[in-house]
Amino acid sequence: MNFSYTEEQKSVRKVVRTFVDREIIPFIKEWDEKGHFETNILKRLADLQLMGVCIPEEYGGVGMDYNTLAIICEELERGDTAFRTAVSVHTGLNSMTLLQWGTEEQKQKYLVPQAKGEKIGAFGLTEPNAGSDVAAMETTAVKDGDDYLINGSKTWISLCDVADHFLIFAKTNPGAKHKGISCFIVERTFPGVSTKAIKGKLGIRAGNTGEVFLDNVRIPAENMLGYEGEGFKIAMAALDNGRFTVAAGACGTIMASLEASIKYCEERKTFGKEIGRHQLVQQMVAKMSANLEISRLLVFKAGWLKNSGKRNTQETSLAKWISCDAAYEAANDAVQIHGAYGFSNEFPVERFLRNAKAPVIYEGTREIHTIMQGEYALGYREDKPLRKMLPAWPFEGILIKG
């Protein structure tokens, strides 16, 4: 096994870190306070070819491997969770799902402009009464001639107000529970689609999150992704990609918490010495450092499986669970190290703590992932090959850019 970064990955990390230091960190406090989502960041990420980094060149992407995507997510979350979330949703949940399940026509129409960053994609699974219990969704899609009519609503949808395309999950056979769910590509411009941002969030205030309403939205049959009744499988495959990027982003929160804590330890003195000289402070810093390495290893193992074209649900779930818990713990310890100043937005650690709570909940709660790992360990759960797998890297016939 090779644990070193490639020269290409080192170069990407440097580019993204420089971008974050120049274009996110100096402004994020103001954006967070105002609840402002800076859409220009998405345009700049597209300029840097980072919105489709792991999509093959033939579909408008750059053709780099999945662990390079992880590096990008880590560095973006070091700046703020809002912008890692944007890449997670656009690339991980939407574009990678189109790459895995889309027809050639769907890929050309929707994936190509998304990979180039010309269009933005979002993902609509969660509903007011259906989160972890996906089968409880109430959104329906009824066949009407050659079309489907979709009615319902989705909530906690990232990029709701800026996305051009949504992957919407709806019941085509309400009595069949999980097997009655289908997936549709829905354009914002379709009549009957409307959105509304959610205000008053605990964290990720610089992100755009909200509701999507679907009122008799007419969808052409060719906009169904996969087969009818295959929506649950598609959603779970999409979450393997989304959770991977969330886990990678959590490494960024740990890294940011560690960097801020080390800086403060060097500046702050108590009892006649730098606070970093106190053993209990060292214990918190050491725990952050260890958890950063552990989380990165779990993420890169999941990425290695993705690169190999292998099912990675168990490994991605473990990476998401452990790294998100570690990120919340790191942010909490960073606030503790900063003392009373950590309770103020004079320092960034209070924002890290607020932001770190959401990933412990979304894309599978801590409790869901705990149950999943217990079932894997006990032999109650076994992953079977899907009808379609995410393409293995390197992509055949694709020239990787340096």
Q: Concatenate the DSSP letters of all residues of 123-180 into one string.
A: EE--BTTBSS-GGG---EEEEETTEEEEEEEEEEEETTTT-SEEEEEEESSGGGGGGG
Report residue 320's pLDDT band, with 50, 70 and 90 as the boundaries. Answer: very high
pLDDT at position 399 over 70: no
pLDDT for the residue 395: 76
Average pLDDT along the chain: 96
**Mean pLDDT score, 210-219:** 98
Do residues 176 and 229 make contact, with C-beta atoms less than 8 angstroms apart? yes
**Mean pLDDT score, 168-190:** 97
Name the token pair of 154.
């989705």
Which residues are known to be catalytic? 363
pLDDT at position 312 over 50: yes
pTM of the predicted structure, to 2 decimals: 0.96
pLDDT at position 272 over 80: yes
pLDDT for the residue 315: 98
Q: How far apart are CA 190 and CA 383, in angstroms?
A: 37
Name the token pair of 185.
């590509």
Do residues 91 and 43 make contact, with C-beta atoms less than 8 angstroms apart? no
- Domains of the chain in sequence order: 7-120 (1.10.540.10), 122-230 (2.40.110.10), 232-378 (1.20.140.10)
The DSSP element (H or E) to which 156 belongs, if any, is strand 147-158
pLDDT for the residue 400: 37
Residue 9's nearest CA partner among 250, 330, 307 is: 307
DSSP 90: I
**Residue 154 CB partners (closer than 8 Å, separation 6+):** 124, 125, 126, 127, 139, 168, 211, 212, 214
- Residue 385 vs residue 319, higher pLDDT: 319
Report residue 3's pLDDT band, with 50, 70 and 90 as the boundaries. Answer: confident
Do residues 94 and 123 make contact, with C-beta atoms less than 8 angstroms apart? yes
397: amino acid identity, one letter? G
**CA 233 from chain center: how many Å?**
18
**Residue 288 CB partners (closer than 8 Å, separation 6+):** 254, 257, 258, 261, 330, 333, 334
pLDDT 10s digits, 45-102 = 999 999 999 999 999 999 999 999 999 999 999 999 999 999 999 999 999 999 999 9
Q: How far apart are CA 332 and CA 166, in angstroms?
A: 35
The reply to whether omega before 394 is within 30° of 0 (cis) is yes
Is residue 1 classed as helix, strand or coil in its secondary structure? Answer: coil
**Mean pLDDT score, 245-264:** 98
pLDDT for the residue 402: 33
Report residue 398's pLDDT band, with 50, 70 and 90 as the boundaries. Answer: very low
